[in-house]
Structure 1
Protein backbone atom coordinates (compact mmCIF):
# COMPACT_ATOMS: atom_id res chain seq x y z
CA UNK A 1 0.00 0.00 0.00
CA UNK A 2 1.06 3.55 -0.71
CA UNK A 3 0.08 6.72 1.16
CA UNK A 4 -1.70 9.67 -0.44
CA UNK A 5 -2.16 13.07 1.20
CA UNK A 6 -5.47 14.64 0.21
CA UNK A 7 -6.02 18.28 1.10
CA UNK A 8 -9.70 19.28 1.20
CA UNK A 9 -9.96 23.07 0.82
CA UNK A 10 -13.41 24.55 1.49
CA UNK A 11 -15.42 25.66 -1.53
CA UNK A 12 -18.76 26.21 0.23
CA UNK A 13 -18.93 26.73 4.01
CA UNK A 14 -22.66 25.99 4.28
CA UNK A 15 -22.35 22.72 2.34
CA UNK A 16 -19.38 21.83 4.53
CA UNK A 17 -21.59 22.19 7.61
CA UNK A 18 -24.43 20.21 6.01
CA UNK A 19 -22.22 17.31 4.85
CA UNK A 20 -19.86 17.14 7.87
CA UNK A 21 -21.49 14.10 9.51
CA UNK A 22 -21.70 12.24 6.18
CA UNK A 23 -18.02 13.02 5.57
CA UNK A 24 -17.00 11.72 9.00
CA UNK A 25 -19.09 8.55 8.60
CA UNK A 26 -17.50 7.97 5.19
CA UNK A 27 -14.00 8.30 6.64
CA UNK A 28 -14.79 6.02 9.58
CA UNK A 29 -16.04 3.38 7.14
CA UNK A 30 -12.74 3.61 5.27
CA UNK A 31 -10.83 3.35 8.55
CA UNK A 32 -12.59 0.02 9.11
CA UNK A 33 -11.57 -1.12 5.62
CA UNK A 34 -7.93 -0.13 6.18
CA UNK A 35 -7.90 2.72 3.64
CA UNK A 36 -7.21 5.60 6.05
CA UNK A 37 -3.96 6.31 7.87
CA UNK A 38 -5.22 9.47 9.60
CA UNK A 39 -7.30 12.59 9.06
CA UNK A 40 -8.07 15.94 10.65
CA UNK A 41 -9.15 19.52 10.14
CA UNK A 42 -6.97 22.60 9.78
CA UNK A 43 -7.32 24.82 12.83
CA UNK A 44 -7.45 27.96 10.65
CA UNK A 45 -10.80 26.78 9.21
CA UNK A 46 -9.60 26.42 5.61
CA UNK A 47 -10.32 22.69 5.26
CA UNK A 48 -8.70 19.44 6.26
CA UNK A 49 -6.32 16.64 5.36
CA UNK A 50 -6.85 12.91 4.85
CA UNK A 51 -4.01 10.44 4.44
CA UNK A 52 -5.36 7.53 2.39
CA UNK A 53 -3.77 4.11 2.02
CA UNK A 54 -4.28 2.80 -1.51
CA UNK A 55 -2.56 0.67 -4.14
CA UNK A 56 -2.13 3.60 -6.55
CA UNK A 57 -3.04 7.21 -7.27
CA UNK A 58 -6.16 6.23 -9.21
CA UNK A 59 -7.58 4.27 -6.27
CA UNK A 60 -6.82 7.09 -3.84
CA UNK A 61 -8.42 9.66 -6.16
CA UNK A 62 -11.52 7.47 -6.51
CA UNK A 63 -11.81 7.26 -2.71
CA UNK A 64 -11.42 11.04 -2.39
CA UNK A 65 -14.05 11.69 -5.08
CA UNK A 66 -16.56 9.52 -3.19
CA UNK A 67 -16.16 11.61 -0.02
CA UNK A 68 -19.49 13.44 0.51
CA UNK A 69 -17.58 16.70 0.93
CA UNK A 70 -16.15 16.35 -2.57
CA UNK A 71 -19.14 14.75 -4.32
CA UNK A 72 -21.47 17.48 -2.95
CA UNK A 73 -19.21 20.33 -4.06
CA UNK A 74 -18.53 21.44 -0.47
CA UNK A 75 -14.80 20.83 -0.87
CA UNK A 76 -12.24 20.51 -3.61
CA UNK A 77 -9.36 18.05 -3.29
CA UNK A 78 -5.66 18.15 -4.02
CA UNK A 79 -3.87 14.79 -3.93
CA UNK A 80 -0.19 13.89 -3.71
CA UNK A 81 1.56 10.62 -3.06
CA UNK A 82 3.20 10.84 0.36
CA UNK A 83 6.45 9.12 1.36
CA UNK A 84 6.14 8.78 5.12
CA UNK A 85 9.41 9.19 7.01
CA UNK A 86 9.30 6.19 9.33
CA UNK A 87 12.64 7.06 10.94
CA UNK A 88 10.96 9.83 12.92
CA UNK A 89 8.51 7.33 14.41
CA UNK A 90 11.31 5.23 15.84
CA UNK A 91 12.96 8.07 17.77
Structure 2
Protein backbone atom coordinates (compact mmCIF):
# COMPACT_ATOMS: atom_id res chain seq x y z
CA UNK A 1 0.00 0.00 0.00
CA UNK A 2 1.12 3.53 -0.78
CA UNK A 3 -0.24 7.03 -0.25
CA UNK A 4 -1.18 9.39 -3.08
CA UNK A 5 -1.99 13.07 -2.62
CA UNK A 6 -4.69 14.40 -4.92
CA UNK A 7 -4.60 18.18 -5.09
CA UNK A 8 -7.99 19.35 -6.33
CA UNK A 9 -7.48 22.89 -7.66
CA UNK A 10 -10.67 24.95 -7.85
CA UNK A 11 -11.93 25.76 -11.33
CA UNK A 12 -15.58 26.76 -10.78
CA UNK A 13 -16.55 27.75 -7.23
CA UNK A 14 -20.28 28.12 -8.04
CA UNK A 15 -20.55 24.69 -9.65
CA UNK A 16 -18.44 23.33 -6.80
CA UNK A 17 -21.28 24.05 -4.37
CA UNK A 18 -23.70 22.04 -6.54
CA UNK A 19 -21.38 19.04 -6.92
CA UNK A 20 -20.06 19.00 -3.33
CA UNK A 21 -22.70 16.55 -1.96
CA UNK A 22 -21.78 14.00 -4.67
CA UNK A 23 -18.08 14.53 -3.94
CA UNK A 24 -18.58 14.00 -0.19
CA UNK A 25 -20.71 10.88 -0.72
CA UNK A 26 -18.07 9.46 -3.08
CA UNK A 27 -15.28 10.03 -0.56
CA UNK A 28 -17.34 8.64 2.33
CA UNK A 29 -17.82 5.38 0.40
CA UNK A 30 -14.08 5.15 -0.31
CA UNK A 31 -13.36 5.94 3.34
CA UNK A 32 -15.50 2.95 4.38
CA UNK A 33 -13.36 0.80 2.06
CA UNK A 34 -10.14 2.02 3.70
CA UNK A 35 -9.05 3.95 0.61
CA UNK A 36 -8.81 7.41 2.23
CA UNK A 37 -6.07 8.54 4.64
CA UNK A 38 -7.12 12.20 4.89
CA UNK A 39 -9.30 14.73 3.10
CA UNK A 40 -10.46 18.30 3.34
CA UNK A 41 -10.66 21.75 1.75
CA UNK A 42 -8.00 24.45 1.80
CA UNK A 43 -8.93 27.43 3.98
CA UNK A 44 -8.41 29.90 1.11
CA UNK A 45 -11.09 28.13 -1.02
CA UNK A 46 -8.52 27.35 -3.73
CA UNK A 47 -9.48 23.66 -3.66
CA UNK A 48 -8.76 20.71 -1.43
CA UNK A 49 -6.66 17.64 -0.78
CA UNK A 50 -7.50 13.94 -0.70
CA UNK A 51 -4.85 11.42 0.32
CA UNK A 52 -5.70 8.03 -1.16
CA UNK A 53 -4.38 4.67 -0.01
CA UNK A 54 -3.81 2.45 -3.04
CA UNK A 55 -1.68 -0.39 -4.37
CA UNK A 56 -0.44 1.61 -7.37
CA UNK A 57 -0.41 5.02 -8.98
CA UNK A 58 -2.87 3.70 -11.55
CA UNK A 59 -5.36 2.65 -8.88
CA UNK A 60 -5.05 6.01 -7.12
CA UNK A 61 -5.49 7.85 -10.43
CA UNK A 62 -8.63 5.86 -11.16
CA UNK A 63 -10.06 6.69 -7.73
CA UNK A 64 -9.19 10.37 -8.12
CA UNK A 65 -10.48 10.65 -11.70
CA UNK A 66 -13.84 9.22 -10.65
CA UNK A 67 -14.37 11.91 -8.02
CA UNK A 68 -17.45 13.92 -9.08
CA UNK A 69 -15.50 17.17 -8.73
CA UNK A 70 -13.06 15.93 -11.37
CA UNK A 71 -15.71 14.28 -13.57
CA UNK A 72 -17.81 17.47 -13.57
CA UNK A 73 -14.69 19.61 -14.26
CA UNK A 74 -15.24 21.62 -11.09
CA UNK A 75 -11.67 21.01 -9.94
CA UNK A 76 -8.42 20.21 -11.73
CA UNK A 77 -6.64 17.09 -10.50
CA UNK A 78 -2.93 16.90 -9.69
CA UNK A 79 -1.86 13.51 -8.25
CA UNK A 80 1.49 12.70 -6.64
CA UNK A 81 2.74 9.77 -4.61
CA UNK A 82 3.29 10.89 -1.03
CA UNK A 83 6.05 9.31 1.05
CA UNK A 84 5.38 9.40 4.78
* TM-score for both structures, normalised by structure 1: 0.90
Equivalent pairs, count = 84
CA-atom RMSD in angstroms: 0.5
Counterpart contact for 1:36–1:51, Cα < 8 Å: yes
- Corresponding residue of 2:56: 56
CA distance in 1, matches of 2:49, 2:23: 12
- Residue pairs, 1:2-81, within 5 angstroms: 2-81=2-81
Secondary structure of the corresponding residue to residue 19 of structure 1: helix
Structure 2 unaligned regions, length at least 5: none
Larger Rg: 1
Structure 1 unaligned regions, length at least 5: 85-91
* TM-score for both structures, normalised by structure 2: 0.98
